[in-house]
Structures are given as C-alpha cells and as structure tokens.
C-alpha cells in the first residue's frame, strides 16, 4: 500500500495541478487589485488664478470646476481640484505652482498674473514633466514652445476689437445724427483699457478704432485711461474724463464689460443728459441686461462657458491619459481659440439667462 501511495504522489501531472491552481489564484488577485486601483484612480488638478475679484475669470473658473466634475463622472475618474489665488502677484503664483508640483499634481491650469514673465513656472513644469494649461492671458509664442507639454486656451484679441468696431458701425449706419451729439461729423470717443502692456488690451483698443476708421468715419480721441479690468477704477477714470469733457464724449470703448459698467456708473452719477454709446467685451450677465435696456450698445461675447469646458476636458485628458483628447483640435499643437460672438439689442434675448 505504501509503494502504491508513493507512486501516485510521484505522478507529475497530479503534482502540477495544485501549482496551476495557486498560479490562477495569484493572477486573479493581481487582476482584481489592478482593476480596483484603476477604478479608484484620482486625477489631481491645480488651478491658480491671477485675481479673485475679476468676475469674468471667476466665471471661467466656475465652468472649469463644473466640467471637471462632469467629465470625471462620465469617465469613471475621481477628480481632485484645488483652486488658489495669486492676488495679482507673480511671485506668489510661482510659489503656488511649486506647491502643486511638490504635491504631485497631475496637471496645473494657470491664469497668469504677468503674461510676459512665465519663465519660473515653465522651468519648474519642464523639470517635473508636468503639463501646464495656460488660459485667458496669452504668453508669447517663444515661451509656449519651450516645453512640449505647455498649452493655451483663450480667444484672439483681434476678433474682439473687430466686433466692437462692427457694433459701433451698425449703430452709426442708422443713428449717426443721434450719436454725433455736437453735430460736427466727428465721433469723439474715450478708451478704457485693461492693464498696461496686456496684449488683449493693446490689440483690442487698436483694432476697434481701426475698424471704424477704415469704414470712412472720422474720430477724435478725448482720453485713454488704464482701468485694469476693474469696475471701480473705470468709474473713477470716467468721472475724471467727464470733468474735462462733460458734454463732448459720444462713444466709450471699454476693453471689457466690467469697465463698461464702471463707465455707466460714472455717467449716471455725473448726471449726463445725453448718454454716449458704450461698447464692452465679455458678455457678463449685468452687461447683457444693460444692453437689453439700451444702456450699453453691445459687447463681444468672450465665451466663458466654452473656455471652461475646453480647459477642463484638456486638463483631464492630459492627467488621465497623458495626451490631448482626440476631439480637441489645437493650432500648432498648442493653442485653442474660442471664437467671439457679437451681441447687441437685436439678439441679446438669446443670451440672457
């Protein structure tokens, strides 16, 4: 009996079967652990904003966060999003990006404080091999080309200037005598610009005026003030202009709706009898309501919802898959430009919430 038992144990097939079963169990556990790991994968995305008091960039930020939640749920990925504010200080923003990198964030979205000084951020991202999505403040092309994981989402400032000019042209074509308050055949105007040296402010201001001039109208600039995208600053600057030109201003070209609203505040408080035409950019809710009431002539919609959607989708794709989503087309593999839209009293009802 003992010899027979020993013969059975020595059968090579029967000796292998337990080993195969053990191997299957180990492999199954490994697969389960891998699936569980993939199911609980967390993508960490950091967002640093240049300022917390800009209503337009805040709208973009809200839309980024909302779409990160939406796309994360659709793709079965948990998204951990952290937002910080630089309070218009580039050194503070550099430190924020460094903190994101040291805490192993997968992607960083940057609304630059100073578009001419992204060097520290770029070098840190390049050293850590972490993608950066810049948005709404376009850095120069040479800087964006310094690392293959740098991207930009924004809008072309020339287009916003052209739309502002077209809004004015549409009004002049039908109401020139009403707009030309002093009846001298020349449109007297003032500019309210964003930041000094800001690409959008410079190009938007120049193109809006050029668009009107090249259509044969004469213009005279009475003032050009920097109001830093700020409603209160715009109101103060506009009041100063009104002190010098209480009845001569016929057109206010504001680089954004926030400053257009500030100009409107000033005109109301000053008690202007004949309101000049006001044109803005961005499509803020309050500005749209003023367009509907005829207080502001029009605006160039800078689509914050679409910007937020694209930034979120791009960031999640880079963080989850290490690549740009296939349905996002980038110019030169770097740029995504959201088109502007013309809004005036003829179509504002389709944009009002």
Domain range for 134 is 42-155+307-322
Number of domains in the chain: 3
Indicate if 168 and 296 belong to the same structural domain: yes
Indicate if 76 and 168 belong to the same structural domain: no
Indicate if 144 and 76 belong to the same structural domain: yes
Indicate if 162 and 193 belong to the same structural domain: yes
Indicate if 148 and 171 belong to the same structural domain: no
Indicate if 46 and 145 belong to the same structural domain: yes
Rounded Cα–Cα distance for residues 115 and 91 (Å):
13
In this structure, is residue 237 part of a structural domain?
yes
Rounded Cα–Cα distance for residues 121 and 105 (Å):
14
Q: What is the pLDDT of residue 197?
A: 82
In this structure, is residue 330 part of a structural domain?
no
Indicate if 6 and 83 belong to the same structural domain: no
Please count the CA atoms within 13 angstroms of the CA of 99 that sit on its side-chain side.
14
Which phi and psi (to 5°) does residue 69 adopt? -65, -45
What is this structure's pTM? 0.83
Indicate if 136 and 213 belong to the same structural domain: no
Indicate if 247 and 127 belong to the same structural domain: no
What CATH number does the domain containing 316 carry?
3.40.50.2300
In this structure, is residue 277 part of a structural domain?
yes
Work out whether the CA dihedral 24, 30, 36, 38 comes out positive or negative: negative
- Which structure tokens are listed for 112? 């630059």
- In sequence order, which residues have a C-beta less than 8 Å from that of residue 341 and are 6 or more positions away? 163, 283, 300, 301, 303
Q: What is the pLDDT of residue 254?
A: 98
In this structure, is residue 327 part of a structural domain?
no
Indicate if 59 and 138 belong to the same structural domain: yes
In this structure, is residue 311 part of a structural domain?
yes
Please, are residues 193 and 225 in contact by the beta-carbon 8 Å criterion? yes
pLDDT per residue of the chain (353 residues) written in tens, 0 to 9? 444 433 334 455 545 655 555 555 555 545 545 554 455 579 999 999 999 999 999 999 999 999 999 999 999 999 999 999 999 999 999 999 999 999 999 999 999 999 999 999 999 999 999 999 999 999 999 999 999 999 999 999 999 999 999 999 999 999 999 999 999 999 999 999 998 888 889 999 999 999 999 999 999 999 999 999 999 999 999 999 999 999 999 999 999 999 999 999 999 999 999 999 999 999 999 999 999 999 999 999 999 999 999 999 999 999 999 999 999 999 999 999 999 999 999 999 999 98
Rounded Cα–Cα distance for residues 289 and 295 (Å):
9
Indicate if 24 and 97 belong to the same structural domain: no
């Amino acid at each position: 009996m003992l010899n027979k038992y020993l013969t059975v144990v020595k059968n090579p097939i029967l000796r292998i079967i337990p080993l195969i079963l053990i191997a299957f169990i180990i492999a199954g556990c490994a697969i389960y652990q891998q699936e569980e790991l993939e199911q609980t994968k967390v993508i960490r995305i950091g967002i640093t904003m240049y300022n917390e008091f800009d209503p337009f960039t805040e709208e973009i930020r809200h839309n980024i966060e909302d779409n990160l939640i939406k796309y994360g749920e659709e793709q079965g990925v948990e998204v951990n999003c952290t937002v910080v504010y630089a309070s218009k200080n580039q050194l503070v923003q550099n430190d924020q990006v460094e903190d994101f990198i040291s805490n192993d964030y997968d992607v960083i979205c940057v609304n630059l404080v100073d578009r001419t000084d992204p060097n520290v951020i770029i070098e840190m991202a390049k050293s850590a091999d972490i993608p950066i999505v810049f948005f709404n403040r376009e850095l120069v092309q040479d800087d964006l080309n310094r690392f293959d994981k740098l991207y930009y989402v924004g809008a072309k400032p020339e287009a916003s200037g052209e739309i502002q000019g077209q809004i004015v042209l549409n009004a002049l074509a039908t109401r020139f005598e009403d707009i030309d308050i002093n009846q001298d055949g020349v449109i007297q105007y003032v500019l309210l610009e964003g930041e000094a040296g800001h690409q959008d402010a410079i190009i938007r201001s120049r193109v809006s005026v050029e668009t009107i001039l090249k259509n044969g109208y004469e213009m005279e600039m009475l003032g050009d003030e920097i109001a830093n995208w700020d409603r209160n600053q715009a109101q103060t600057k506009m009041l100063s202009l009104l002190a010098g030109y209480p009845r001569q201003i016929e057109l206010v070209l504001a680089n954004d709706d926030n400053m257009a609203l500030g100009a409107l505040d000033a005109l109301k408080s000053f008690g202007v009898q004949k309101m000049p035409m006001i044109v803005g950019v961005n499509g803020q809710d309050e500005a749209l309501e003023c367009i509907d009431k005829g207080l502001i002539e029009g605006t160039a919609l800078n689509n914050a919802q679409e910007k937020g959607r694209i930034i979120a989708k791009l960031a999640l794709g880079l963080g989850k898959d290490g690549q740009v989503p296939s349905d996002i087309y980038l110019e030169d593999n770097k740029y995504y430009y959201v088109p502007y839209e013309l809004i005036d009293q003829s179509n504002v009802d389709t944009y009002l919430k």
